[in-house]
Amino acid sequence: METTRRQFMASSAAATAGMLLAQGAAAQTGERSTNRPNIVLMFADDAGYGDLSCYGHPTIHTPNLDQLAGEGARFTSFYANPACTPARAALLTGRYPVRPGGVAGVIGPDSANGLPAEEITIATALKGEGYRTKCVGKWHLGHAEEEFMPTSHGFDEYFGLLYSNDMIRPWVNTDRPLELYRDTEPIEHPVDQYTLTTRYTEEAVRFIHDNADESFFLYLPYTMPHLPLATAEQFRGQSRAGLYGDVIEALDWSAGEVMNALREAGVADNTLVIWLSDNGPWINMPDRMLQEGPDGLVNKPWHAGSPGPFRDAKGTTYEGGVRVPAIVWWSDEVPAGRIIQEPANSMDLFTTILRACGADVPDDRPIDGNDLLPLLRGDTEDSPSQIYHYFRNHQLQAVRKGPWKLQLVTGEPELFHLDRDYMERFNVAQDYPDKVEELRALMEETAEETGATLP
């Protein structure tokens, strides 16, 4: 396996060197692509802020993602929703999922609801601009009706699981089987979870090569590292961080394969690549997850990632549940090695991607995401996302404005200055009553406008 990895890294380095030479030649002749960019959006499931080596993990090695960050931008204050379904709704629509038409709660295998057909996703907007579109991986935005399926939301093709990989017995009380889908038809049951990441990667690479002559949008929402953990044999036992490390390093391998495919297809320089997680790690997993599952799948308390230096985990609106790793790479557009400390969030990617592709941002509904292109390009150091609201289900629990965060979930106001106290250890609400009232008024206004409730 170590030989295979060395060979892979050597081939990756050679491909990168060739790419840089091509970029240099283009710069000397004054050439610059005027084509609409392709979009590759990779979305990990339950990966924590501290799970990548470029975010400080001491024993998990992620050389491909580290390279992406080194050649592009890495965010240190990037936010997502604290749970699976609403995180996907917010990402793809640019809207708080609590809004009418959104999906604020987690969809289960027997749920009847889903993302309505009238919602505009990134795929819907780009398909309208002539893009080829494909979703590979976990959908989790509804499946009870065909109108909820990926192919009804702008995707020409779909391959993956319709919801989380733990939504089978004994972890979830359901009689619906977990099935692998192609477009709208199930093609595998029971699902071989051990090969999901490698099969997703093969589908993604094939799509890139098949559409190299067209503008395309590839959405790659991985199933992993959501429990139960599973990975292909070539990755097992390779990480000093155990099985969880093996799974993360497999995702890193996948990102490397996607980048290699872009380079081999000759489209890397004209592709905007984004990698992020949907929420924080599941270190607070319930006891039901510690039962032994089918096909040798076993969960242990340590089969979860790291929130880094932040408080709490998935399912909460403390920083450990919502602050996630996020990397943006775009040759010649995003300066290499850029570290962005200003806050941004997953909804911003909707507006950013549409603007990058020359597509219109819908004006017939509230769009909560902002355009990050000036920030990514270094044209400004100020983020357009100076105010961010933290929702859990239909409840608005917290708000961040600049460095200040007001959290109401405990019943008593908790006020944190995140620049000075990013671990949320010191509640300074009594010291700054005016700031508490200012932020509380923001929350009340937003709750009324979106239809949310307050704690």
Query: What gap in Å lies between CA 272 and CA 216, rounded to an integer?
Result: 11
Compute the half-sphere exposure of residue 107: CA atoms within 13 Å on the CB side of its CA.
Answer: 27
Angstrom distance (rounded) from CA 373 to CA 304: 33
Query: Is there a contact between 48 and 306 (Cβ–Cβ < 8 Å)?
Result: yes
- Report the SS3 class of residue 209: helix
Residues 6+ apart with CB under 8 A from 322: 79, 80, 81, 82, 279, 280, 316, 390
Q: Which of 140, 143, 303, 389 is catalytic?
A: 140
Distance CA 244, CA 285 (A): 14
Q: Do residues 181 and 223 make contact, with C-beta atoms less than 8 angstroms apart?
A: no
Say whether 84 is catalytic: yes
DSSP β-ladder status, 185-188 and 180-182: antiparallel
* CA nearest to 105, candidates 90, 85, 123: 85
Token digits of residue 198: 């490698």
DSSP 249: H
Q: Spot the catalytic one: 57, 84, 226, 303.
A: 84
CA-angle at 455, arms to 102 and 121, nearest 5°? 15
In single-letter form, the type of residue at position 448 comes to: E
CA distance 304 to 134: 29
Task: State yes or no: is 135 an active-site residue.
Answer: no
Query: Across the strands, what pairs with 38?
Result: 271
Cα 243 to Cα 156, 249, 286, distances in angstroms = 34, 10, 19
Which pair of tokens denotes residue 2?
A: 């170590």
Is the bond preceding 225 in cis, omega lying within 30 degrees of 0?
Answer: yes
Euclidean distance between CA atoms 40 and 138, whole angstroms = 15
Distances from the Cα of 91 to the Cαs of 293, 326, 428, in angstroms? 31, 13, 32
Decide if 189 contacts 179 (C-beta within 8 A).
Answer: yes
Residue 182, amino acid? R
Q: What share of the chain is helix, strand, coil (3-state, %, to 5)?
A: 35, 15, 50
Amino acid identity for residue 146 in this structure: E
The strand pairing partners of 132, in sequence order, are 216
Contact 323, 280 (CB under 8 A): yes
Residue numbers annotated as active site: 84, 140
